[in-house]
Amino acid sequence: MALHASIFYAGIFGLIYIYLSADVTKLRVKYQVGLGDGGHLDLLKAIRIHGNFSEYVPFALFLLFLSELIGGRPWMLHVLGVTLLVGRILHIIGLRKTDGPSIYRFFAAVMTWGVLLIFSIFCVISTF
pTM of the entire structure? 0.93
CB 40 within 8 A of CB 27: yes
| Domain map (residue ranges) of the chain | 4-125
Per-residue pLDDT of the chain (128 residues; tens, 9 = 90+): 679 999 999 999 999 999 999 999 999 999 999 999 999 999 999 999 999 999 999 999 999 999 999 999 999 999 999 999 999 999 999 999 998 889 999 999 999 999 999 999 999 999 99
Q: 4-125 maps to which CATH number? A: 1.20.120.550
Tally the C-alpha atoms within 13 A of residue 74's C-alpha that lie toward its C-beta. 6
**Cα–Cα distance measured from residue 45 to residue 41, given in angstroms and rounded to the nearest whole number:** 6
